Amino acid sequence: MSNDIKRKDLYIRLGNIKRVEEWMKAGEKLGLRVCRGSKHPSTIRNPNMPDDDGKASLITVVPNNLHKNMNESIFKSLLRLSGKSEDEIWRSVGFLK
């Protein structure tokens, strides 16, 4: 999958995302359904399945403890399952104007 990523310079910077809220705001900007968790991980889900809280609507899980590999996994899941373009995702996290 990382071979499919066009903007490798931005991909390397994913380790700079430190807070769950950054991913939650990105999901909102992308028009996805954001489900914030307090003690449990937050999720980003497909908005076309509003009544489904199961696996079918799940795009990605955003755990409370983020690190570079986890951010890369979240990014790849968004790219693969959200139907959004790579540039749209980069804009949503503020890496691209």
pTM of the predicted model as reported, rounded to 2 decimal places: 0.91
Reported as a single tens digit per residue, the pLDDT across 6-62 is 999 999 999 999 999 999 999 999 999 999 987 889 999 999 998 888 899 999 999
pLDDT band for position 86 (50/70/90)?
Answer: very high
In this prediction, residue 2 carries a pLDDT of 56
In whole angstroms, give the CA distance from residue 43 to residue 87.
Answer: 21
In this prediction, residue 67 carries a pLDDT of 94
Whole-number Cα distances in Å, 27 to 1, 3, 44, 79:
20, 23, 6, 12
In this prediction, residue 26 carries a pLDDT of 98
CB 73 within 8 A of CB 11: no
